[in-house]
């Protein structure tokens, strides 16, 4: 580490990898989570409660439990590996899948709440105005649920950056591939590099605060425009 | 013409409603709260699917045993109890939401609707910046602009306060006069129905008790409407003369001519009049030395005693008893003293004849709530 520089190359690499993982995970989460949240909000069947419970599992499960099962599912002897022809454990793709599953409830719940708060009326109105279900979803439901979708995206992003147990279990700590911030900080602490740990930990603390504050302010604006 | 028949379980009772409504004018679905009238309207819109339903609108089947046209493919407009404007869209975008999704050429134009409903000034505003009455007017315009062949209105005034109601009723009447499409109007307020409806479908506990021209249903002795505490008859007539000196108009109705306060427009204008049963007294001869302007020959068609020592007398105007129906309420004592009988020809003295709708020029020039003056011009 060159004298006076705040971050060395390894730190920059781990920050970049973490941001890349968080961004890709957030995009996948929105693409998967929004239709799922819609279905959970609109369906009246008993099935949806079962699905909702499965989606919510990561909230209560220790990350190591989830990571353990994911490691097995993505490992060399799993059916998934046979189908794909390659294993996903200790790869970036595997990390994305693990992060999506781990952060899913944090994205689905706010979006589902937003869809539920909207009620049936806006979709009924749209239907009486010649708007088909898909058109109404994109032109009425999504814009109305925007604050919830925004909250979900921020929570998913921040939660992915902060995860530790799952990524350690399924990704290990391969620099540039799976070694994300939280794992790096753990390494620094284990090897008694307290200064470096301080820089990364402090940076994350500051960034998390800014993200959450920004989220609250933007949400207030989005809601304010409606009332 | 709208032919509707719906059957299904509905909470604590069975819905079994069948009626036909004419292909023009306002048909009111009237009945107490919970009688199933909103369910029928929602089923007509396709927002609800009752398994046993049949619905044919202007010859097109919207629902039968096999077919169920989804709501967005039905050529109907729906006005909900609450305006339900899209909060994320401007008034303009709300108004044109359905219009933009309608491929057929527009029969009802944007300018026409803006004019009819007086909403030009609201165009760039946001739904939150509008009063309740304004929001509901925009909702009506939005429904009309989707070019419906049938307009469905579910108690569009019931969520509004008195002022907003008075603000919006004249617009509904203008619509009625200007539009050729049929309107199905759900209401539990008889005053609204008397003012707006041409045809009345009376519902009770999930069933249709009666359906027909409003004057007939209101005066029908077999129906509960005549037993309301303050029954009234509505009579449609034509202005035949006006007298600016006294501010009076002569209106020809079936079986007679009534003198009505106000200058009701050019000769030939159609007007709806309302006569309260308690404003009618009966006599054998034309009155002399009286301030009452209206004394019309009528025949007693029937009489029913009420619980409070009153008699509800059904009348038909004209010496032949073939004219418009009226309902009078007189005391049991005077009924007996005069010795009146069914079939007898008498003179009905009308203490007051009111116009159901205010004169057309009374469409509001400004908001009656007094918060803001919002003149509109066309």
Query: CA B176, CA B193: separation in Å to the nearest integer?
Result: 13
Question: What pLDDT score does A149 carry?
Answer: 93
Range with top average pLDDT, B136-140, B287-291, B305-309: B136-140
Count of CB pairs separated by less than 8 Å, A with B:
64
**Helix/strand/coil (H/E/C) assignment for every residue in A15-52:** HHHHHHHHHHHHHHHHHHHHHHHHHHHHCCCCHHHHHH
Question: What pLDDT score does A4 carry?
Answer: 54
Q: Which residue has the tokens 């803006």?
A: B114
Total tally of structural domains belonging to chain B:
2
pLDDT tens string B336-360 = 988 888 888 999 998 888 777 643 3
Split at pLDDT 50, 70, 90, the class of A3 is very low
Question: What pLDDT score does B148 carry?
Answer: 92
Considering the domain architecture, whether residues B151 and B59 belong to the same structural domain is answered as: yes
Considering the domain architecture, whether residues B101 and B245 belong to the same structural domain is answered as: no
CB-CB neighbours of B3 under 10 Å: 15
Give the domain ranges of chain A.
Answer: 9-224
Would the pLDDT of B229 be above 50? yes
Considering the domain architecture, whether residues B214 and B256 belong to the same structural domain is answered as: no
Considering the domain architecture, whether residues B273 and B189 belong to the same structural domain is answered as: no
pLDDT tens string A5-62 = 788 888 999 999 999 999 999 999 999 999 999 999 999 888 899 999 999 999 999 9
Considering the domain architecture, whether residues B258 and B181 belong to the same structural domain is answered as: no
Q: Do A129 and B101 touch (CB under 8 A)?
A: yes
Flag whether B367 is in a domain. no
Residues of B in contact with A226 (CB under 8 A): 87-88, 128
Considering the domain architecture, whether residues B242 and B215 belong to the same structural domain is answered as: no
Backbone angles phi, psi at B142, to 5 degrees: -60, -40
pLDDT tens string B272-304 = 888 888 889 898 888 777 888 888 999 998 888
Flag whether B238 is in a domain. yes
Would the pLDDT of B151 be above 50? yes
Q: Do A127 and B71 touch (CB under 8 A)?
A: yes
Question: What pLDDT score does A100 carry?
Answer: 96
- CATH architecture group of domain A9-224: Orthogonal Bundle (1.10)
Question: What pLDDT score does A104 carry?
Answer: 96
Question: What pLDDT score does B375 carry?
Answer: 33
CATH of residue B347's domain is: 2.40.50.100
Considering the domain architecture, whether residues B187 and B236 belong to the same structural domain is answered as: no
Instruction: Find the closest chain B residue to A132 by CA distance.
Output: B72
Split at pLDDT 50, 70, 90, the class of B376 is very low
Considering the domain architecture, whether residues B218 and B326 belong to the same structural domain is answered as: no
Q: Do A124 and B71 touch (CB under 8 A)?
A: yes
Query: Is 0.90 surpassed by the pTM of this model?
Result: no
**Helix/strand/coil (H/E/C) assignment for every residue in chain B:** CEEEEEEEEECCEEEEEEEEECCCCEEEEECCCCCCHHHHHHHHHCCCCCCEEEEEECCEEEECCCCECCHHHCCEEEECCCCCCCCCCCHHHHHHHHHHCCCCCCCCCHHHHHHHHCCHHHCCCCHHHCCHHHHHHHHHHHHHHCCCCEEEEECCCCCCCHHHHHHHHHHHHHHHHHCCCCEEEEECCHHHHHHHCCEEEEEECCEEEEEEEHHHHHHCCCCHHHHCCCCEEEEEEEEEEEECCCCEEEEEECCEEEEEECCCCCCCCEEEEEEEHHHEEEECCCCCCCCCCEEEEEEEEEEEECCCCEEEEEEEECCCCCCCEEEEEEEHHHHHHHCCCCCCEEEEEECCCEECCCCHHHCCCCCCCCCCCCCCCC
* Cβ burial A184-216 (10 Å sphere, 16+ → b, else e): bbebbeeeeeeebbebbbebbeeeeeeeeeebe
CATH of residue B119's domain is: 3.40.50.300
Mean per-residue pLDDT over chain B, rounded: 85
Flag whether B375 is in a domain. no
Residue of A44, A119, A130 for testing the chain B interface, max B β-carbons within 10 Å? A130
Domain ends where: B173, B192, B226?
B226
Q: What's the complex ipTM?
A: 0.83
Instruction: Find the closest chain A residue to B143 by CA distance.
Output: A129
Q: Which of B72, B82, B128 sits opposite A130 (nearest CB)?
A: B72
Would the pLDDT of A165 be above 50? yes
Domain that holds residue B144: 2-226
Would the pLDDT of B201 be above 90? yes
Q: Which residue has the tokens 């008790």?
A: B209
Split at pLDDT 50, 70, 90, the class of A145 is very high
Q: Do B87 and A226 touch (CB under 8 A)?
A: yes
pLDDT tens string A57-112 = 999 999 999 999 999 999 888 888 888 888 888 999 999 999 999 999 999 999 99
Flag whether B366 is in a domain. no
Can you name the residues that pair with B13 across neighbouring β-strands?
B10
Question: What pLDDT score does B355 carry?
Answer: 76
Considering the domain architecture, whether residues B272 and B155 belong to the same structural domain is answered as: no
Mean per-residue pLDDT over chain A, rounded: 90
Can you name the residues that pair with B199 across neighbouring β-strands?
B27, B213
Q: Which of A124, A146, A227 sits opposite B128 (nearest CB)?
A: A227
Question: What pLDDT score does B371 carry?
Answer: 31
Backbone angles phi, psi at A61, to 5 degrees: -70, 140
Question: What pLDDT score does A224 carry?
Answer: 66
Considering the domain architecture, whether residues B189 and B248 belong to the same structural domain is answered as: no
For residues B94 and B320, the model is more confident at: B94
Can you name the residues that pair with B203 across neighbouring β-strands?
B208
Question: What pLDDT score does B372 carry?
Answer: 30
Q: Do B102 and A130 touch (CB under 8 A)?
A: yes
CB-CB neighbours of B376 under 10 Å: 17
pLDDT > 90: percent of chain B: 34
Considering the domain architecture, whether residues B199 and B250 belong to the same structural domain is answered as: no
Considering the domain architecture, whether residues B206 and B254 belong to the same structural domain is answered as: no
Q: Two tokens at A123?
A: 């979709």
pLDDT > 90: percent of chain A: 68
Would the pLDDT of B154 be above 80? yes
pLDDT tens string B27-63 = 999 988 888 899 999 999 999 998 889 999 999 999 9
**Helix/strand/coil (H/E/C) assignment for every residue in B155-184:** CCCCCCCHHHHHHHHHHHHHHHHHCCCCEE
Would the pLDDT of B312 be above 60? yes
pLDDT tens string B60-87 = 999 998 899 999 999 999 999 999 999 9
Q: Do B146 and A121 touch (CB under 8 A)?
A: no
């Amino acid at each position: 580490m060159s004298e006076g520089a705040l971050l060395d190359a390894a730190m920059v690499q781990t920050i970049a990898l973490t941001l890349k993982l968080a961004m890709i995970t957030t995009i996948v989460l929105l693409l998967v989570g929004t239709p799922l949240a819609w279905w959970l909000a609109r369906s009246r069947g008993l099935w949806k409660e079962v699905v909702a419970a499965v989606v919510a599992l990561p909230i209560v499960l220790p990350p190591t439990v989830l990571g353990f099962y994911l490691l097995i599912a993505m490992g060399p002897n799993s059916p998934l590996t046979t189908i794909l022809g390659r294993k996903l454990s200790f790869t970036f793709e595997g990390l994305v899948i693990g992060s999506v599953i781990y952060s899913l409830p944090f994205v689905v719940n706010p979006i589902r709440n937003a869809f539920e708060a909207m009620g049936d009326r806006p979709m009924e109105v749209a239907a009486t105005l010649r708007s088909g279900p898909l058109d109404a979803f994109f032109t009425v439901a999504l814009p109305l649920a925007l604050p919830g979708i925004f909250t979900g995206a921020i929570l998913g992003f921040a939660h992915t950056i902060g995860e530790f147990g799952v990524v350690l279990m399924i990704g290990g700590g391969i620099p540039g591939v799976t070694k994300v911030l939280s794992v790096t900080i753990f390494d620094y602490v284990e090897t008694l590099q307290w200064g470096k740990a301080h820089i990364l930990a402090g940076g994350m603390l500051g960034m998390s605060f800014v993200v959450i504050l920004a989220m609250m302010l933007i949400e207030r604006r989005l809601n304010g425009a409606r009332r | 013409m709208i032919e509707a028949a719906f059957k299904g379980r509905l909470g604590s009772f069975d819905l079994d409603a069948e009626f036909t409504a004419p292909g023009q004018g306002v048909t009111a679905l009237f009945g107490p709260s919970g009688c199933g009238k909103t369910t029928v309207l929602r089923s007509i819109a396709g927002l609800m699917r009752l398994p046993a339903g049949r619905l044919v609108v202007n010859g097109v089947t919207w629902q039968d045993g096999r077919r169920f046209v989804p709501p967005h493919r039905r050529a109907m407009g729906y006005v909900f109890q609450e305006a339900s404007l899209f909060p994320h869209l401007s008034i303009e975008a709300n108004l044109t939401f359905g219009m933009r999704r309608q491929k057929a050429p527009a029969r009802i134009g944007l300018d026409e609707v803006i004019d009819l409903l007086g909403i030009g000034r609201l165009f760039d505003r946001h739904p939150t910046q509008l009063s309740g009455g304004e929001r509901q007017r925009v909702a009506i315009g939005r429904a009309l602009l989707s070019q419906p062949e049938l307009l469905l209105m579910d108690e569009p005034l019931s969520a509004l306060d008195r002022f907003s109601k008075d603000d919006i009723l004249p617009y509904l009447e203008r619509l009625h006069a200007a539009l050729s499409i049929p309107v199905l109007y759900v209401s539990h307020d008889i005053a609204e129905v008397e003012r707006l409806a041409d045809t009345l479908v009376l519902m009770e506990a999930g069933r249709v008790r009666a359906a027909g021209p409003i004057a007939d249903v209101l005066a029908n002795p077999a129906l509960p409407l005549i037993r309301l505490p303050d029954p009234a008859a509505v009579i449609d007539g034509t202005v035949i003369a006006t007298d600016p000196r006294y501010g009076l108009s002569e209106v020809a109705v079936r079986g007679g001519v009534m003198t009505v306060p106000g200058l009701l427009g050019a000769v030939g204008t159609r007007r709806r009049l309302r006569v309260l049963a308690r404003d009618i007294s009966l006599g054998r001869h034309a009155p002399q030395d009286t301030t009452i302007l209206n004394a019309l020959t009528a025949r007693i068609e029937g009489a029913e005693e009420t619980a409070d020592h009153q008699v509800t007398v059904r009348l038909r105007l004209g010496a032949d008893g073939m004219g418009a129906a009226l309902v009078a309420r007189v005391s049991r004592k005077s009924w007996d003293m005069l010795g009146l009988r069914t079939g007898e020809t008498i003179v009905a003295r009308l203490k007051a004849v009111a116009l159901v709708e205010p004169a057309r020029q009374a469409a509001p020039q400004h908001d009656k709530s007094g918060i803001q003056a919002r003149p509109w011009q066309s």
